[in-house]
Amino acid sequence: DTNSSRSVQNCAFISEGTYYKRPYGAGIRSGCHWTFENCIFDGRGSDETAFSCHNNSDFDKETTQLFENCRFRGTASGPLIRFGSITKNANNIINNVIFKGCVLGGLLLSEEKADTLGRGILFKVSGYSNDVRTGEIRNTDGNNYKSSIDLI
């Protein structure tokens, strides 16, 4: 739902690579605020990301996703965390993602089906005290989104 809150604490999301290969995947709606504390996202046995999220169209309010002391694990050769942007009718509303004290592996910001849902990146990632392997941005609109990832 729009303008809703989600708070998850002390949980482990595990995928053994069977039917649902990704331990956690969701779409976030306008005005939502999510918090994950002391959670593990473990994609063992899967070549998928450990956490995947995309925005939805028709946003009129910013969102926030806070991850505090979380761990992202898996056997994927690429990034373990992915945020996909849908820009069609999205009013260029930014989705804020904050990591505090997390072990991330790799992070990817990308477009979600750019040819049909629009081009550009509408996620901004920030945070501190994280263990980050890589931060990657894949976009087709020709803009530089380097400042969309600010992790220390």
Are 120 and 143 in contact by the 8 Å Cβ rule? The answer is: yes
- What average pLDDT does range 126-150 have in this prediction? 94
- Asked if the model's pLDDT at residue 119 lies above 90, the reply is yes
Cβ-proximal residues to 42 (8 Å cutoff; 6+ apart), any chain: 12, 13, 14, 15, 23, 50, 71, 73, 74
pLDDT at 58 over 90: no
For residues 43 and 103, what is the distance between their CA atoms, to the nearest angstrom? 14
Mean pLDDT of the region 68-81:
91
Q: Looking at this protein, which amino acid is placed at residue 128?
A: Y
* pTM of the predicted protein model: 0.94
The mean predicted confidence, pLDDT, of the chain is 92
Residue with tokens 């550009």: 120
